[in-house]
Structure 1
């Protein structure tokens, strides 16, 4: 194979990895999961409003804040690749989630919605603590949590989603955003939080 051919393959590999990282970004997966859990718990469209509130305060507002900080030059990118910049962003995310939880409580939202947000809080806290000294893969953590949670809600028919975490993990390593160890650590965290959701939220 020629040098130019190898370069094209490398470029194509990075492009695919970048696409996977964007499509299965934490904000997207968390948003989708919150809406699915809300609608399923309500048995229909009645779950859209609490689900939308959860999405706004858990994912949309924090992500909008990140984009604003990137645009103003305060963050390196929207994936917050610099570990040192993650702490303040995650702390602000916790504040936003707290406001969302208060609104959901006042609206007597279904436990599936509130419980899912609480699981998200658990994940954010762990990532916040770990990132004080090590860059755990939030992409992998959320991907595994998403898949475990969807399987808990829908059973074996959701099994094809099991392909998502390996693809996400590969993309993060391929982009050199994380080491394999950081990806595996993220997967472990996601599995623990997903198991908590399956037992204490979906299982109720």
Structure 2
């Protein structure tokens, strides 16, 4: 189970776990037979101690950006339904991750309200049209792509050359990791109209 918020793709959250010694374990590997493929997982419920896997004692909020909640919550393995581990209460870690995302959002550059409103209206209108008039949505999407292809390279070049901001500042302003921000700027800089 992962948590997501629109516009913050590089901040996907999940339940992280800690072992009794306070360390965060690496992925758990599952040998599913004689194939060369070995499945791995970092799902919190995989650290239940069965089949010589590590046993997690506490859980916490975790984010793909590297953030980890300082607050931890005990895991009572007797209360975890092995057939439906998602039924176990993980609200504490999720709320901690939401607080982290609220902080990321507060540091990000806000969109002007009129622009945010237009984008919201556009999403709502496309949602209304997609089932009944999918060709209209395809045409509208093509128009949006043309708009992005015109403005994104210009804005990316201004950020990269004129503003000369450190990537850490750009990432914070965009509400994403440095790796994601760098990737986006490179993609936009080289986008062809």
TM-score, normalised relative to structure 1: 0.28
TM-score, normalised relative to structure 2: 0.29
Mark the structure with the bigger radius of gyration.
2
- Which structure is higher in RCO with an 8 Å CA cutoff and minimum separation 6? 1
